[in-house]
C-alpha cells in the first residue's frame, strides 16, 4: 500500500515573501482542515500551485520554497502569469464556474482558455507522475483539474484515482452547451471514483455520460474498457469541533479580551435590545445571490415597515477573483445598492445594512456567527455552502435561525432550516418575519437536530468515507478484471 497523493489547484500552505524572507503559513480553509486526517506525516503528499507565479518567484528563493513546502508535505506545480490567466481566470472561472452554476450567459467559450486549461492540467498530471509511484492512491480536487484523471491514467493504467467536484454538476441541458463537453467527461472518467456533494449532481453527471458519450451505465457504475467507475455523493462536512470550541472559548472571554468588532456588536445589542442581527457571509460571487438578497431585504422593509429599526443586515463579502469583469461589476452593483438603501432608510439611530468588503480573521467570523440572531444565505447556486453549517455549529445555546436557499447543496441535509427560493421576495419577506418571531423552543428543537447531524458527519468523516469508497472500488475493480 503506497502513499496518498492529494491534488488541488492551490496548496494548503500560503507562501509569503517579505523583505526577501520566505514564510509558509498553513491555510485554515475547509479543504485543508478536512484533509488533515488523510494528509498526515510522511504518508502523503499534496501537489498544487503555490500561489506565486514564476515571475513573482525570486530565483534565489526557488530551493527555499521547495524545502519549505516539503516540510508541510507539499510539492509545487510551477505556473507563469499567462498560464494563470488562461487556466484559472480564463477557463476555470470564466467558462466552467458560470456554466456549472447555471449562469450560461456569463460563460465564455474561448479556444485560448481551453488550450491553456489542457496545458496546465497536463502540468499537474506530469507533477503527479513525477512525485508518485504506481501503488499510490491519488485524490484530485475540483473543477480546475477535470482532465487530470485521464492524463494520469494514460501513463499509469493501474493507479487508483479519485476525483471530487466541490461545485454543482449542472443538468445535461446546460452541460451539453460546452464545446469541450466530451473531453471534460473523458478526463473525469480516468478516475475510479467520482464524488459529488449531492445525489442530484451525481445524477446529472451520469445522465451526461449516458447521453453524450453513450457509455454503459448501471445505477451509479460506469463500465469503460476493463474498468468500473463508481459515482457517488459525499456531502462535505465541517470541522465541527473547531467551530464549537471557538464559540465556547469566545463566551468565556473577559470584557478586556473582546475584539473591537465584538465590542461594537455588544454595544449594538445593549443600545437596542429589541433589534435582531441578520448575518450573511459569502465570497463576493454572483452565484451567491448577494445583490438579490439586498433587494429582498429592501422589499421586506417595504412589506413590513414595522421592522424598520428592528433589524440590521450584516453583509460580509470576501473579495474574490477581482480581475474577472463580472466580479468587478457585481462589486459596483453591491456598493451602489448598499449606499442607496442606507441613504434612503437610515435614521439617527439606525443603519439598515452594515457592509464589510474584506476577509476577516477567524476570530471575527466567530464574533459574527455567535452574535447574529439569524443567518440568511441565499445562493442562486452553490455546490454545498459551508457557512450555513458553521453558523449552526457555533450556536452553543442552540438559539438562532438559519434561512437557507434551496439551491445550496447543504439544503439537502439541513431540512430543519427555513428553506427559501432566493428569487421569491414574497416568500423571503414572510420567512424573515417568521425567523424574527420564532419561539426559542422551536429554535432549540431545530438546531438540536442540525447540530447532531453536523457533529456526526464532520469533515474528517467525509474525507475518510471518500477514501474508503475509493479503496473498496479498487478492490472491486480488480475482482472485475480478473473474472
Ligand atoms: C466552494 C463551493 C462548497 C468566508 N469568509 C471568511 C472566511 N470564510 C470561510 C468560511 C467557509 C469558507 O470560507 C467558504 O465556504 P463556502 O462553502 O461557503 O463557499 P466557497 O468558497 O464558494 O467554496 C462551495 C465549498 O467549495 C466546499 O466544497 O461548499 O459550494 O463554492 O469555510 O468560513 N474565513 C475567514 N475570514 C473570512 O472573512 N477566516
How far does the centroid of ligand 1 lie from the alpha carbon of residue 387, in Å? 6
**Could you tell me if the CB of 283 is within 6 A of ligand 1?**
yes
Task: Give pLDDT, residue 28.
Answer: 62
Q: Which residues fall within 8 angstroms of residue 82, CB to CB, at 6 or more apart?
A: 116
Dihedral sign of CA atoms 235, 236, 238, 241 in order: positive
Contact of 346 with 298, CB cutoff 8 Å:
no
Ligand 1 and 167: CB distance under 6 A: yes
SS3 state at 270: helix
Query: Dmax over Cα atoms in the chain, in whole Å?
Result: 78
Q: Whose CA is nearest to atom 3 of ligand 1?
A: 384
- C-alpha 115 – ligand 1 centre gap (Å): 29
CA-based nearest residue to 213, from 170, 205, 227:
205
Index of the ligand 1 atom closest to the CA of residue 31:
27
Atom of ligand 1 nearest to the CA of 166: 28
Q: What pLDDT score was predicted for residue 31?
A: 75
Which cell goes with 287? 452565484
pTM listed for this prediction: 0.96
Q: Are 465 and 234 in contact (CB under 8 A)?
A: yes
Residue 126 CA to ligand 1 centre (angstroms): 29
- What is the CA(98)–ligand 1 centre distance, in A? 17
Here the cell at position 111 is: 479556444
238 CB near ligand 1 (under 6 Å): no
CB-count exposure of residue 347 (10 Å: 0-12, 13-18, 19+): exposed
**Nearest Cα to 4, choosing from 448, 474, 383?**
474
135: left (phi over 0), alpha (psi -120 to 50) or beta: alpha
CA–centroid distance, residue 393 to ligand 1 (Å): 15
CB 399 within 8 A of CB 445: no
Q: What angle do CA 190, 205, 320 make, to 5 degrees?
A: 90
Q: Fill in the DSSP letter of residue 192.
A: S
Q: Report pLDDT for 422.
A: 98
The answer to whether the beta carbons of residues 48 and 5 sit under 8 Å apart is no
Strands in 374-377's sheet, in edge-to-edge order, are 353-357, 311-318, 276-283, 374-377, 401-405, 418-420
Q: Ligand 1, residues 27, 240, 281, 386: which to mutate, most atoms within 8 A of Cβ?
A: 386
Residue 420 Cα distances to 95, 389, 425, 433, angstroms: 28, 16, 9, 13
Pocket test for ligand 1, best of 35, 387, 457 (most atoms within 8 A of CB): 387
> How do the pLDDT tens digits run along the chain, 483 residues long?
689 999 999 999 988 888 778 888 877 666 776 787 778 755 899 999 988 899 988 888 888 899 999 999 999 999 999 999 999 999 999 999 999 999 999 999 999 999 999 999 999 999 999 999 999 999 999 999 999 999 999 999 999 999 999 999 999 999 999 999 999 999 999 999 999 999 999 999 999 999 999 998 989 999 998 899 999 999 999 999 999 999 999 888 888 888 888 888 888 888 888 899 999 999 999 999 999 999 999 999 999 999 999 999 999 999 989 889 999 999 999 999 999 999 999 999 899 999 999 999 999 999 999 999 999 999 999 999 999 999 999 999 999 999 999 999 999 999 999 999 999 999 999 999 999 999 999 999 999 999 999 999 999 999 999 999 999 987 776 665 555
* CA 36 – CA 39 distance, rounded (Å): 5
Amino acid at each position: 500500500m503506497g502513499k496518498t497523493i492529494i491534488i488541488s489547484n492551490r496548496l494548503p500552505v500560503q507562501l509569503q515573501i517579505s523583505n526577501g524572507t520566505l514564510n509558509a503559513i498553513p491555510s485554515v480553509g475547509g479543504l485543508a482542515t478536512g484533509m488533515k486526517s488523510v494528509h498526515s506525516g510522511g504518508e502523503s503528499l499534496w501537489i498544487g500551485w503555490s500561489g506565486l507565479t514564476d515571475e513573482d518567484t525570486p530565483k534565489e528563493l526557488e530551493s527555499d520554497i521547495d524545502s519549505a513546502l516539503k516540510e508541510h508535505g507539499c510539492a509545487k506545480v510551477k505556473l507563469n502569469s499567462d498560464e494563470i490567466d488562461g487556466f484559472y481566470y480564463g477557463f476555470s472561472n470564466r467558462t466552467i464556474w458560470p456554466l456549472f452554476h447555471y449562469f450560461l450567459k456569463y460563460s465564455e467559450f474561448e479556444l485560448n482558455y481551453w488550450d491553456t486549461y489542457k496545458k496546465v492540467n497536463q502540468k499537474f498530471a506530469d507533477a503527479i507522475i513525477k512525485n508518485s509511484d504506481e501503488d499510490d492512491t491519488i485524490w484530485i480536487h475540483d473543477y480546475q483539474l477535470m482532465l487530470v484523471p485521464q492524463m494520469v491514467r494514460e501513463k499509469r493504467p493501474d493507479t487508483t484515482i479519485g476525483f471530487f467536484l466541490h461545485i454543482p454538476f449542472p443538468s445535461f441541458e446546460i452541460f451539453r452547451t460546452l464545446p469541450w463537453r466530451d473531453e471534460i467527461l473523458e478526463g473525469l472518467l480516468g478516475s475510479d471514483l467520482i464524488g459529488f456533494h449531492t445525489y442530484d449532481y451525481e445524477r446529472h453527471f451520469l445522465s451526461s455520460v449516458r447521453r453524450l458519450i453513450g457509455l454503459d451505465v448501471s445505477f451509479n457504475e460506469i463500465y469503460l474498457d476493463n474498468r468500473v467507475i463508481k459515482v457517488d455523493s459525499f456531502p462535505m462536512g465541517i470541522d465541527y469541533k473547531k467551530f464549537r470550541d471557538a464559540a465556547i472559548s469566545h463566551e468565556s472571554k473577559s470584557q478586556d479580551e473582546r475584539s473591537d468588532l465584538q465590542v461594537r456588536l455588544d454595544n449594538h445589542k445593549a443600545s437596542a435590545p429589541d433589534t435582531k442581527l441578520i448575518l450573511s457571509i459569502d465570497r463576493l460571487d454572483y452565484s451567491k445571490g448577494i445583490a438579490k438578497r439586498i433587494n429582498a431585504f429592501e422589499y421586506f422593509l417595504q412589506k413590513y415597515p414595522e421592522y424598520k429599526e428592528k433589524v440590521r443586515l450584516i453583509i460580509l463579502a470576501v473579495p474574490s477573483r477581482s480581475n474577472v469583469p463580472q466580479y468587478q461589476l457585481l462589486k459596483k452593483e453591491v456598493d451602489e445598492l448598499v449606499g442607496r438603501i442606507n441613504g434612503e432608510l437610515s435614521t439617527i439611530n439606525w443603519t439598515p445594512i452594515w457592509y464589510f468588503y474584506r476577509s476577516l480573521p477567524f476570530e471575527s467570523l466567530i464574533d459574527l456567527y455567535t452574535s447574529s440572531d439569524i443567518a440568511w444565505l441565499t445562493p442562486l447556486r452553490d455546490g454545498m455552502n459551508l457557512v450555513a453549517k458553521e453558523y449552526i455549529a457555533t450556536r452553543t445555546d442552540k438559539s438562532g435561525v438559519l434561512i437557507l436557499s434551496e439551491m445550496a447543496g447543504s439544503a439537502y441535509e439541513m431540512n430543519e432550516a427555513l428553506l427559501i427560493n432566493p428569487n421569491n421576495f414574497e416568500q423571503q419577506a414572510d420567512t424573515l418575519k417568521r425567523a424574527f418571531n420564532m419561539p426559542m423552543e422551536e429554535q432549540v428543537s431545530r438546531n438540536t437536530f442540525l447540530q447532531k447531524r453536523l457533529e456526526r458527519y464532520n469533515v474528517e468523516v467525509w474525507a475518510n468515507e471518500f477514501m474508503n469508497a475509493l479503496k473498496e472500488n479498487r478492490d472491486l475493480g480488480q475482482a472485475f478484471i480478473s473474472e
